[in-house]
Structure 1
Amino acid sequence: MAANVTYIPPKAAKPETLRVAAYCRVSSDSSDQLHSYATQIKAYTEQIGAHADWELVDVYADEGLTGTRMDKREDFQRLLADCRKGKVDRVLCKSISRFARNTRDCLVALRELSALGVTVYFEKENIDTGTLTSELMVSVSGALAQQESISISQNQRMSYRRRMEKGEFITCYAPYGYDLKGQELVINEEQAAVVRYIFQQYLNGCSVERLAHDLTQMNVPTGFGQSKWWDYPIRYILKNEKYVGDTLCQKFYTTEHLPFINKMNHGEREQYYIENTHPPIVSREVFQKAQALLEKKSAKNVTHIAHILSLKICCGRCGTSYIRRVSLNGFATWVCRKHDRKAVDCSNGRIPETEIYAAFVRMYNKLKENADIILAPALKQLDDLETAMQRENPAMLEINRAIAQVAEQSHNISKLQTAGLLDADACAAKLSSIQTKLTQLRRERRRLLEHDDIEDAISRLHQTADTIKSGPEQLDTFDESLFEELVERIIAESQTCIRFRLWGGVELAEKVRRAKR
């Protein structure tokens, strides 16, 4: 019996609409109006709108941002996110150098877009990533774009150097106590009063730790608008030549190869000291006295502490402190005292000093990149615990209200002095009286607070978080001052693993290599 076959013709294919987006980026100081930020947005909108089968998704544009780091470009990241959501079929871009100036990041992004079925067309190079041979071409062009970025960076550094040599280069941002108006530093009178207070109190014998505590209690906002002060920014203020009207150029420098990293200049690059570049906040006499006192205290600390790691390392197995040993060839190691006296008493052997330094550098860089993930939960738990404890103690609430009122008085007095309605002597007398009252109230609060260690842990952990926030973006070598600011204790679990206990109680483990015998 013959099969009954019915022919079903295919449906007429509907014209497919291509969802197209554009990405553009220009420097904010570009003088080329044909390629300006606004012009590119307008041009791409018209170009996509001219195709009947194209649908404009959006024009993604970043202005005045670096092209060497993709994570700094908000709209580029938004474009990638929309591609991942399936909102985009095709991306238009002026050139590869506009898309990315780092070959590795460029190819990573293009491979991801290719996997998502999104093609990219670069107008200048006439490259369409939908073709088979595009990746090789992009790699070559990307390398050229990367070299272009390095060349631009070198030109900028040369321009800065020439300006510094002529005494023209001052700063790109205003330090605490100043505002940046155009290219000039102008005194911010409200903040300048705080700077003068810091210098005056320090020369009167007040420690930087005490100053940080007092400014916090006085509700004086920091340069970042925070309410908590720490000793690190106060030391920076005391050492900063900007406050006598001078400028030390190139305190930091940028590496010459990708990825560009900003580093503190410890003599690796030339520096230029320019006098009288802007109005001073304190006199040279006051500033020089502060430097002498800082140097004197630093020398005193060196006398009492033989080594930065002394009394910092303890054995994770027996609890004994570690001791430094130096071989005849100068190789330094740290070892458990019990093991050093008799190896059978403790199995924890020697750890090279250089490995401890390297472990700290690795730990800091991880913490800098993931501070919010690591520190924020611990801070929230401690803050919630303290809040719960104080909520159950009416006397504590009353003390806290009194402290807040006195601190508000202190803030108002500072405002009156800034406005010129209260002279310095009267202000100092009133602030001294307020400080005495605050000391009494805080002593009463400590008496009521049964868990002093919680309040101290919160304060310490906030200090750690602030130090990380204000610290360098990338640490390449061991930094003693940063180590002191962050690390309370090192616990040597074994010869291959140590734990850094930060101020505030957070502990982070790092692997180390054993000492060679």
Structure 2
Amino acid sequence: MSIKYAVYVRVSTDREEQISSVGNQIDICRNWLERNGYDWDENQVFKDEGISGTLFLERPSIQLILKKAKGKEINMVVFKSISRLARDLKDSLEIREVFISHNVRIISVEEGYDSHKVGKNDMAFELWSLFSAQYSRTLSSGVSAALAAKVRRGEHIGKTPYGYVKEDGFLKIKEEEAKVVRRIFDWYNQGWGYKRIMKELNLKRIKPKEINKWQITSVQRLIRNPLYCGDFIFNQYTVIKVNGRRKQIKNPREKWMYYKDHHVPIVSKEVWKRANNVKVKRTTFTPWNEFRGIMKCKICGSNMIINRSVRKRKDGFKTNWDYLKCSKFRRSGEYGCVNHAPILYEDFRTIVVETLLTKGESVSIYFQDNLQKKRTSELNQLVASKEQWLSRKDKLLDLYLDQLINKDEFEERRREIEKDILMIEDKVFHLKKNKGLKTDIDSIREAFKQLNDHEQDLYKAFNSLIDEIRIHPDKAIEVDYTFADPKNA
């Protein structure tokens, strides 16, 4: 048959048994297609490997199939089971709605589901999707229970912390690193701050476990972690799904499971408690940053943050000074980036507001042209990039046909290239939708109106009007606007 179909395959982890199921899923779908008179086409197989079925937006292959369905490029999609399509009920139903509304036939081989036979108003798909979602939750609970049992037995779960090695699931002290841990606690209890400890560690060329240099946050987390006095906290965090993506949140303390004397400690309880004494614990306050996410360091590209300096006068009155600082320099000092000349936040904010108000007096019809030009430019870059990858794919095939590379190397490199092509096509798909153009124009106009009230929070206004601000170490500022400047048009 000449019908255009897509075969969808998904595995949620990179474990060996999961990877082997890719071939199993393909064989099941191929068997169904050939038994029903369809010619097998290897190029119509789309894979999402190592991606959870509960994360809809992070699966490029299913996004590409949906794009093909909307573009009338396919009229049937085949997959092993509904659990492979999605493990979230809402996502599963949304995917089906897109396929049905574009006359794409849905085949789930394992459940024997065929949308052409059951019609649009069937309940079978909803029930299977519900079972799949419930299975995911049950599986998660089962995994949590199994992990809790391991912790009760004294085993360690999660990443192996600095100062330890893991043997047969249990933590053992790695003496060379443990000496560093003890030294950190000693320094802190002597009155050293996180920054001074970080600098000393980097100066002595002591390597942390996963990153190249010690940072303030890594020193702070080490000191605050009760693991170093032999205790372990289980169920401290929960991973939730927000807008199709994973997000880790901290559970309330009543849900924590605290295991005392869980493993061999590196420092004593007394040393740890002295470092974490609530009465002497250092407290920090992070000022509100209306430019978060768009204000960058020109040197390293990290976010610029607000650093607060508090000065106490003789009469007891405190004065706060909020100034801008590179977040990488804040974490790692000169090992991370350079120290910027101090710019007071209020002065910086005033300059930006005044500049925008001046531009707002003359900006009008340039909105739409500029937004459209930006989208067109991005599309052209993506198309050119895709052509380059397609060319590489053709050259790779030539290398294989000329026997310059073996089959395994060919398949591995081909998969990598196809993955990059899929990501590009996914970006092109979202850009071509172009649905936010009028909304963007309206939001820009509204943002200019908000600037007249300097006292209100201008976070949304700044994000509507500014793409990015880059700050040089010498206080120079570069600004990319979301609109065209008539003076430069």
Per-residue deviation at 1:269? 0.6
Question: Residues 161 and 80 (structure 1 numbering): CA distance in 2 closer, same or farther, change over 3 Å?
Answer: same
Per-residue deviation at 1:192? 4.4
1:145 aligns with 2:127: no
Aligned to 1:172, what secondary structure does the other structure show?
coil
Choose from 285, 291, 305 the match for 2:273: 291
* Residues 383 and 458 in structure 1, CA contact (< 8 A), matched pair in contact too: no
Q: What is the TM-score with the length of structure 2 in the denominator?
A: 0.52
In the other structure, the counterpart of 1:173 is 159
Which amino acid in structure 2 is aligned with residue 295 of structure 1? Answer: N
* Residues 18 and 55 in structure 1, CA contact (< 8 A), matched pair in contact too: no
In the other structure, the counterpart of 2:28 is 43
Choose from 225, 233, 241 the match for 1:248: 233
Give the aligned CA root-mean-square deviation in angstroms: 4.9
In the other structure, the counterpart of 1:128 is 114
Which amino acid in structure 1 is aligned with residue 145 of structure 2? Answer: M
Question: Residues 187 and 196 (structure 1 numbering): CA distance in 2 closer, same or farther, change over 3 Å?
Answer: same
Aligned to 1:108, what secondary structure does the other structure show?
helix
Choose from 165, 185, 188 the match for 1:202: 188
What is the rounded CA distance, in whole Å, between the counterparts of 2:454 and 2:126 in structure 1?
46
* Residues 44 and 59 in structure 1, CA contact (< 8 A), matched pair in contact too: no
Choose from 72, 95, 112 the match for 2:81: 95
Question: Residues 457 and 223 (structure 1 numbering): CA distance in 2 closer, same or farther, change over 3 Å?
Answer: farther
5 Å-filtered alignment, 1:414-429, equals none
1:460 aligns with 2:446: no
* Residues 12 and 18 in structure 2, CA contact (< 8 A), matched pair in contact too: no
Per-residue deviation at 1:214? 3.6
In the other structure, the counterpart of 1:158 is 145
Q: Deviation digits for residues 258-282 of structure 1, max 9, x if unmatched? A: 98864323423141314242x54x3
Q: What is the TM-score with the length of structure 1 in the denominator?
A: 0.50
* Residues 173 and 180 in structure 1, CA contact (< 8 A), matched pair in contact too: no
* Residues 29 and 80 in structure 2, CA contact (< 8 A), matched pair in contact too: no
What is the rounded CA distance, in whole Å, between the counterparts of 1:288 and 1:144 in structure 2?
51
5 Å-filtered alignment, 1:362-381, equals 374=294, 378-379=296-297, 381=298
Which amino acid in structure 2 is aligned with residue 112 of structure 1? Answer: V
What is the rounded CA distance, in whole Å, between the counterparts of 2:128 and 2:137 in structure 1?
14
Which amino acid in structure 1 is aligned with residue 273 of structure 2? Answer: Q
In the other structure, the counterpart of 2:253 is 267
In the other structure, the counterpart of 1:417 is none
Aligned to 2:8, what secondary structure does the other structure show?
strand
In the other structure, the counterpart of 1:438 is none
What is the rounded CA distance, in whole Å, between the counterparts of 2:167 and 2:67 in structure 1?
38
What is the rounded CA distance, in whole Å, between the counterparts of 1:62 and 1:156 in structure 2?
23
Aligned to 2:107, what secondary structure does the other structure show?
strand
| Pairs aligned (count) | 328
What is the rounded CA distance, in whole Å, between the counterparts of 2:63 and 2:206 in structure 1?
37
Q: Deviation digits for residues 473-499 of structure 1, max 9, x if unmatched? A: xxxxxxxxxxxxxxx889896675365
Choose from 441, 453, 457 the match for 1:497: 457
Per-residue deviation at 1:89? 4.2
Per-residue deviation at 1:104? 1.7
In the other structure, the counterpart of 2:41 is 55
Question: Residues 270 and 221 (structure 1 numbering): CA distance in 2 closer, same or farther, change over 3 Å?
Answer: closer
Aligned to 1:295, what secondary structure does the other structure show?
coil
Aligned to 1:69, what secondary structure does the other structure show?
coil
Where structure 1 has 5 or more consecutive residues not aligned to the other structure, the ranges are: 1-14, 314-359, 385-455, 467-487, 508-517
Aligned to 2:185, what secondary structure does the other structure show?
helix
Question: Residues 61 and 182 (structure 1 numbering): CA distance in 2 closer, same or farther, change over 3 Å?
Answer: farther
5 Å-filtered alignment, 1:6-21, equals 16-21=2-7
Which amino acid in structure 2 is aligned with residue 139 of structure 1? Answer: E
Percent identical across equivalent pairs?
A: 18
1:68 aligns with 2:50: no
Per-residue deviation at 1:106? 1.6
